[in-house]
Structure 1
Amino acid sequence: MTNHSAKSSRSALVIFTAGAFFFYSFIQMTLFSTEAMKAFFMQLLSINDTAGFGNFAGTFLYGTVIFLIPAGLLLDKFSVRKIIIAMILLDVICVFALAFTSNLLIASVLRFIMGVAHCIAFMAPFRMAPRWFASKHLALVSGLLVAFAVFGGWVSGAPMLSLITSFGGKTAMLINGGLGFIILAAALLFLKDFPQGYKDKGETKAEISLMDGLKLAAKNKQNWLAGLFIGLLNLAVLLLGAMWGTTYLKIVNPEFSESTYTGIIGMIFIGTIIGSPLSGLISDKLKSRKKAMIGGGVLSLIIMLLIIFPPLSNAAFFYVLFLLLGLITAAQSIGYAVIAESNEDKVLGTANGLSAVVLMGIAAIGQPLFGQLVALFGGGADASIEQLQNAFQVSIWVMPIAFVVAIICALLLRETFQKS
């Protein structure tokens, strides 16, 4: 019993040290979730309009989407520990450099490189988890990893705003970099590629080429369906939580104060933190990935429709709705367990990369698409408040449509829960 407990503790320490990099990189991805940080960088880089700032901020996701498959291939072929350590160091260097540069091109390149590092931060913990945990625990572990990462999204909100208010944007970024050094030290101390006596459960031990591995992952429809499901539900975090949520509430509910709509959007992150391990636990208890994913998709759709057509207009009701939105869309985390259970270890990194291209591609398209839809439906620069409200109310339908498609993906998935 003591040996089993020690083994479990060691497994948790390894995986959640890798997860700490995911947490840190999530802070960088959602760095501009507050108006204060946006204003600091617009002034620092002499950006005068929201379109220019959107292009700058978007370079992070461009780097992520472009390098996800190469990152997956690297994780299949080389030491995951060494790759994580190298990427943390690169990420920290970029954070410090970003605090000091006033050149927009250099800052954009730095954000692009941070997006590349995010590929590893995002995939490495899920690449390692099946080595350290049995299938019956994978959904819960995946949920906890997502919760840990999304906590970074919350940190980039109210805590970062507090740092900026107290010390200024540059000092806040230097503190941000210092946190990265702490995580780098933890990785050096605790990360390990394999548990003692680990053996690949795959059917064959033969090495395969990069192209063969990519073909094998691409032929598995589970990877595409799970990636779509994760990405579509993840729009709650990456479209509303990280970019457009505060603007939507500000336009549609102008009676709310800035602190109120910032707090309401922050509830998405709180809900996701709670819901990610909870959805994994529910999936493990149901002994079904598919049922939990379908239920999460249906409930997400219902909550989103209540946000679009709220029966009440007071702030407290919106706090509850956005908390529930984060809580329920956290069912996306089950998709990572589906991918882990649908692929052999030798191609799991590639499979994660392929699925991640789908889910991060959805975010990379969704963030600018929402802004373009607002402009298309009459919310341009010279629009009145009534025109803006109408444009945002029409554009927000991207969310329920995405949830409907996510439900269809879950219905088409093959059950992967392994009862052994």
Structure 2
Amino acid sequence: MRRYLMWSVGLLAYIVAVFHRSSLGVAGVAAAERLGVGTALLSMLSVAQLAVYAGMQIPVGVLLDRFGSRRLLAAGGLLMLAGQLVFAFAGDVGTAIAARVLIGVGDAMTFISVLRIVALWFPPRRNPLMVQLTGMVGQLGALSSAVPLVLLLRHAGWTTTFLASAVLGAVAVVLVVTSLRDHPEPANLPDDPSSLSVTAIQPDKSEITPISDLSDMSGMHEDAARGRVKRDLGLRNSWAHPGTRLGLWTHFVTQFSGTVFALLWGYPFLTQGEGLAPDTAALLLSLLTIGGLLMGPLIGHFCGRLPYHRSNLVLGIVGASALAWTAVLLWPGRAPLWLLVVLVLVLTVNGPGSMIGFDYARSFNPADRIGGATGIVNVGGFVASIVLIVAVGVLLDLQTAPGADHPSLAAFRWAFAVQYPLWGFGAVQVYRYRRTTRRRVAAEDLTLAVA
């Protein structure tokens, strides 16, 4: 039961981080009015936040392996709290960007810290499911920033809304500091934890699932491992393994469409482009989160039972996303509500699909470098999201006539078409590193070992 308590505390911190991250999505229109900016400058708020998030992933991963989850979660929570306080009183775009940068840095410290808790407290066979549950239950933060935040903005105003967000962050920090422990207590473990590391591989050697992060030993020996392994070498070793890069490109190609839709451009697209009422658009964004909550455990179960077909699932998710967007973008006139619901339902799989990348990071890296490997993987989807956010904002500005209240539906269609090159490039990289990983496994001639 104690492992679930530790996971719950970390999970709460992640839920609050997702709330902070997603709060701009439904506040985008209000932010544009308050700050007096167009779509391109508005996109810079999200870009600044995501750019810092992505850029901090590898440094945070190294810090995580050194200082542990508890310290990084507390530091990240304090930074996000400060960011929401600054955002509450921001009256110009420069101050607002500074606030989102603080939120981005704090957010960068959160998710991979919780994944490390999962890796050290839970046995490897349960890792895929627990990672999916972490990612999907964490999206309750996005759900809280949808309808409730819209209502609070409408009735309480900008400053009160974001001050309340800061208070929520303070509660999470207090719980982390007082309740969280990085790993279980030592108990009858061998002197050399590497002796417990095992490797599992499917019969045809197509994809490998090394089990090297056993929860009952890795955390207890992290200090000794720190003394034996230089962090820069561990990071290079993580990057050198094609399985880590397979995780990176998996995260890249699956995450960006749903993330950008939920984080910034989905709400303006639905209300200004497709003409939906604000409450209906907010409900669709909520459906995006609820659908992810349902799909996450299913995908986690699939990866746990059929780990050798994970890349096929990834490519299927990409194809389904592209197909759904094609139907919406090519529909003559405004798309019917049922088709927009179908689009949102397809996008619900994007978040769970991106979690498969972290499963690759765990599969191909030992426990003493899991933080750095996870950080490498986590860069992928957010780099793609940054590219898409900027491209959509610029294209909308270029196609919106001076003096127009908002971009046209045609402008939104051309802007969202930028997704297709990203899907194509990412899918090619997934296929490429899948083949490279399979060759690496065959060359090493790894076999099943039992501790």
Structure 2-normalised TM-score? 0.80
Instruction: Note closer, same or farther for the CA distance 1:324–1:55 as it changes in structure 2 (3 Å cut).
Output: closer
Is 1:212 aligned with 2:201? no
Q: Tell which deviates more after alignment, 139-148 or 192-201.
A: 192-201
CA apart distance, 1:101: 4.2
8 Å Cα contact 1:87-1:120 kept in structure 2:
yes
Q: Is the 8 A contact 1:236 1:268 kept in 2?
A: no
SS of residue matched to 1:102: coil
Distance 1:388 1:80, change over 3 A: same
In structure 1, the residue corresponding to 2:401 is in which secondary structure? coil
In structure 2, what is the Cα distance between the partners aligned to 1:156 and 1:129?
26
SS state at 2:25 partner: coil
Instruction: Pick the aligned partner of 2:260 from 239, 249, 265.
Output: 239
**Residue by residue, what CA displacement relative to the aligned partner does 1:132-161 show, whole Å, maximum 9, x if unpaired?**
122221111111111122221221111101
Q: 1:345 to 1:380 in 2, by over 3 A?
A: same
Q: CA RMSD in A?
A: 3.0
- 1:320-399 aligned at under 5 Å gives the runs 320-327=342-349, 330-375=352-397, 379-382=399-402, 388-399=408-419
Question: After superposition, what is the alpha-carbon deviation per residue over 1:15-40, rounded to whole angstroms, capped at 9, x for unaligned?
Answer: 23212222211112221212xx3354
Secondary structure class of the residue paired with 2:131: helix
Query: For 1:234, what is the secondary structure of its paired residue?
Result: helix
Does 1:28 pair with 2:20?
Answer: yes
Corresponding residue number in structure 1 for 2:183: 194
- TM-score by length of structure 1 reads 0.85
Q: Percent identity?
A: 19
Match for 1:147 among 98, 112, 136?
Answer: 136
* Partners of 1:217 and 1:102 in 2: CA distance: 43
Deviation at 1:80, TM superposition (A): 2.0
Q: Give the aligned partner of residue 53 of structure 1.
A: 42
* Alpha-carbon distance, 1:75 to partner: 0.4
Q: Which residue of structure 1 lines up, in the alignment, with residue 8 of structure 2?
A: 16
Equivalent position SS for 1:192: coil
Q: 1:127-142 residue pairs with structure 2 within 5 A?
A: 127-142=116-131
Relative to structure 1, is the Cα distance of residues 340 and 101 closer, same or farther in structure 2, using a 3 angstrom cutoff?
same
Within a 5 Å distance, the mapping from 1:73-152 to structure 2 comes to 73-102=62-91, 104-152=93-141
Summarize the Cα distance change of 1:371–1:224 in structure 2 as closer, same or farther, 3 Å threshold: same
Q: Is 1:300 paired with 2:321?
A: yes
- Residue 159 of structure 1, aligned match among 123, 144, 148: 148
Name the aligned partner's letter for residue 253 of structure 1: E
The change in CA–CA distance for 1:211 and 1:125 in structure 2 (over 3 A counts) is same
Q: Is the 1:275–1:331 Cα contact (8 Å) retained in structure 2?
A: no
Gaps of 5+ in 1: 1-8
The answer to whether the 8 Å contact 1:279/1:333 transfers is: no
Q: Distance in 1 between matches of 2:89 and 2:412?
A: 36
Q: Is the 8 A contact 2:43 2:393 kept in 1?
A: no
Say if 2:234 is the partner of 1:230. Answer: no
Aligned to 1:270: 290
Residue 290, structure 1, aligned to residue 318, structure 2: no
Distance 1:406 1:279, change over 3 A: farther
SS at match of 1:56: helix
User: SS of the residue aligned with 1:22?
Assistant: helix
Count residues with an aligned counterpart: 405
SS, match of residue 30 in structure 1: helix
